[in-house]
Amino acid sequence: MIIPAIDLSLGRVVRLKQGDFNQKSVFNFDPVKRVLEAANSGAKLCHIVDLDGAKDKTKRQRACIERIVKASPIPIQTGGGIRSYSDVKNLLDLGVSRVVIGSAAVSHRELVRGWIKRFGSDKITLAFDVRVQDGRAYVATHGWLKTSNITIESLINSYMSVNLKHILVTDIAKDGMMQGANYNLYKSLTKTYPFLDIIASGGISSLEDIKEVKRAHATSVVLGRSLLEGKFTVKEAIKCFQNA
């Protein structure tokens, strides 16, 4: 599946390079219009990141997300600074289809396991941002500022007891760089966890990159900057992914 992504800050569509707010590009696109265009092009799911909410929970862009959800004919997956039961519930109550949980899934595993049990594994996507060091993928937290000593495999294993379904995996070194994805990472994960919905994210800048991710057996691909900069269209990406 091709999943168009929209990063939001102050209600505007933006993109960060490697998660750095000092390297922010602002795009003159209406987020609702972008979602409608993606849906009309065949997208079945859209990924929304609340960058302001990730930095400060008091600045969560609830009104903007609600406007997108109400207008969208396709399901919306969204996250950004999700740290409590009420954060998850509030987004689901808005009509969001899946809530994306990042840092909390690393630092508060028992709590997040409880949320998955409560809301169901299909309502939660765990987002694992990783740095690859000496061939091992270690999970980063706190907006990528800190790299833990926890491997992505050990983290995934800790959620097997609650029937984890969806994981979004981003190699930090690749994100926003438009230099291709970490195909070996996805190949390794899909081989170890063939039953998981493994969503690839970061670095995809060409249709050839999409083919490589599909060949690595990732089930979905999140596309952000490449679509915003017109490297290819949603229709072209979907056709490429289906035929790879």
CA distance 64 to 67: 5
**Per-residue DSSP letter, 158:** T
Q: Where are the beta strands (DSSP E) in 28-97?
A: 46-50, 76-79
Annotated catalytic, 7?
Answer: yes
Local structure of 200: helix, strand or coil: strand
Return the structure tokens found at 79: 């996250």
198 in Cβ contact with 188 (< 8 Å): no
Q: Where are the beta strands (DSSP E) in the chain?
A: 2-9, 12-17, 20-27, 46-50, 76-79, 98-101, 124-133, 136-141, 146-151, 166-171, 197-201, 220-223
Which one of 87, 129, 175, 209 is the catalytic residue?
Answer: 129
Torsion-angle region of 143 (φ positive above 0: left; ψ -120 to 50: alpha; else: beta): left
Return the structure tokens found at 18: 């490697």
Instruction: Kindly give, in sequence order, each residue whose CB lies less than 8 Å from that of residue 103, ignoring residues fewer than 6 positions away.
Output: 83, 141, 142, 143
DSSP of 105-154? HHH-HHHHHHHHHHH-GGGEEEEEEEEEETTEEEEEETTTTEEEEEEHHH
Residues annotated as catalytic (active site), given as ranges: 7, 129
